């Protein structure tokens, strides 16, 4: 990108979109505050816009911003909705576009694109609220343990690991509190990793992070509470495994058409195979989030990271 294509920081107004209406609102607010502070330190004029408040569209238009920095998580933020609004008002924005955002948000449909790229991803079965449910059939197909999760939500909200048939009903009930559409997914045992990817056509992967949760799995508490998990970077894996995980994350990023940034969750099994679980198009940016940790391991400061995301958004 030429210097002409980049906006001068001291002449640039950034609309920071955060908050929102999803179950991840509080996390979005924390992410947003971190980004606001870093961008202002870098010299940008930042106008916070809480998309969970009535009249935010008017606030966004009145901000007369040069670019929107999207710090929204979950429904209404990562599903293509806010991206569509930015397109309508002709406002450049950070991160993936409408289609990639909506695809990545749908864990079931994203698997189709992973498969097309030759990526391993756990088998799954859709479960819709109101449909007849044959738990024995699902267990016979996927075997125990298995995972129950909402199709289109993040931060591990409504996720359960079912280890016994007697736990299946409660797991479904918990999931339906979050979404009307769930998936039962094959459980893959192994090392839990996440790999962030930066860039557009020339995307590159950051060092993989190994996640060691205090709880049974990397749930909401593990993700966002201090001491809820250990993040080990670089991960304690062999060099060839590191390269395989990074390649898988880049393929996932490209298969969905992601731009700017993504973070793909991967399980490395005992045979050294990488299983792609899901891709997040707007990773968390709180004090305990994984993207800032991976960037730091790659020698990228917070300010540099957020400036890079703005530059990626302006690439043609």
Specify whether 155 is catalytic. Answer: yes
Q: Tokens 């990023």 sit at which residue?
A: 253
Specify whether 263 is catalytic. Answer: yes
- Which one of the listed residues 24, 66, 153, 241 is annotated catalytic? 24
* Domain spans in the chain, listed from the N-terminal domain onward: 3-95, 102-120+189-314, 124-186
- Which one of the listed residues 32, 265, 289, 306 is annotated catalytic? 265
Q: What is the largest CA-CA distance in the chain?
A: 62
pTM: 0.91
> What distance in Å separates the CA atoms of residue 71 and residue 282, rounded to the nearest whole number?
7
What values do phi and psi take at 237, rounded to 5?
A: -135, 165
User: What is the model's pLDDT at position 228?
Assistant: 59
- Which one of the listed residues 152, 263, 289, 306 is annotated catalytic? 263
Specify whether 278 is catalytic. Answer: yes
Specify whether 224 is catalytic. Answer: yes
Bridge partners (DSSP) of residue 121 are none
Specify whether 284 is catalytic. Answer: yes
Block means of pLDDT (10 residues each) for the chain, length 316 residues? 56 96 91 97 97 97 98 93 98 98 96 98 96 93 96 77 94 93 96 97 97 65 57 96 98 98 98 97 89 96 96 90
- Which one of the listed residues 224, 229, 241, 306 is annotated catalytic? 224
Looking at domain 102-120+189-314, its CATH superfamily turns out to be: ATP-grasp fold, B domain (3.30.470.20)
How is domain 3-95 classified at the CATH fold level?
Rossmann fold (3.40.50)
- Which one of the listed residues 96, 156, 179, 280 is annotated catalytic? 280
Specify whether 81 is catalytic. Answer: no
User: What is the model's pLDDT at position 8?
Assistant: 75
- Which one of the listed residues 31, 34, 155, 255 is annotated catalytic? 155
CATH 3.30.1490.20 at 124-186, yes or no:
yes
User: Beta 13-18 vs 67-70: how paired, if at all?
Assistant: parallel
> What distance in Å separates the CA atoms of residue 84 and residue 70, rounded to the nearest whole number?
12
Residue 314, classified by CB atoms within 10 Å of its CB into exposed (0-12), middle (13-18) or buried (19+), is middle
């Amino acid at each position: 990108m030429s210097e002409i294509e980049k906006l001068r920081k001291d002449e640039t107004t950034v609309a920071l979109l955060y908050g929102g209406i999803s179950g991840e609102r509080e996390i979005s607010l924390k992410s947003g505050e971190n980004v606001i502070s870093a961008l202002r330190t870098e010299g940008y004029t930042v106008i916070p816009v809480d998309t969970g408040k009535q009249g935010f569209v008017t606030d966004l238009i009145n901000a007369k911003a040069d670019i929107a920095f999207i710090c929204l998580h979950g429904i209404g933020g990562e599903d293509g909705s806010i991206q569509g609004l930015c397109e309508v008002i002709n406002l450049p924005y950070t991160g993936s576009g409408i289609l990639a955002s909506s695809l990545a948000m749908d864990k079931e449909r994203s698997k189709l694109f992973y498969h097309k790229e030759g990526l391993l991803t756990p088998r799954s079965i859709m479960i819709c609220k109101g449909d007849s449910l044959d738990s024995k059939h699902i267990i016979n197909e996927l075997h125990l343990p298995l995972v129950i999760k909402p199709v289109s939500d993040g931060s591990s909200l409504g996720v359960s690991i079912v280890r016994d048939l007697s736990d299946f009903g409660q797991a479904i009930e918990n999931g339906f509190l979050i979404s009307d559409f769930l998936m039962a997914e094959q459980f893959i045992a192994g090392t839990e990793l996440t790999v962030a990817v930066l860039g557009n056509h020339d995307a590159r992967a950051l060092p993989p992070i190994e996640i060691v949760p205090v709880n049974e799995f990397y749930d909401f508490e593990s993700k966002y509470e201090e001491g809820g998990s250990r993040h080990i970077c670089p991960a304690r894996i062999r060099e060839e495994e590191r390269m395989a995980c990074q390649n898988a994350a880049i393929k996932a990023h490209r298969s969905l058409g992601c731009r700017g940034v993504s973070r793909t969750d991967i399980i490395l099994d005992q045979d050294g195979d990488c299983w792609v679980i899901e891709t997040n198009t707007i990773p968390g940016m709180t004090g305990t989030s994984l993207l800032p940790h991976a960037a730091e391991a790659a020698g990228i400061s917070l300010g540099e990271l957020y400036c890079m995301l703005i530059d990626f958004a302006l690439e043609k």
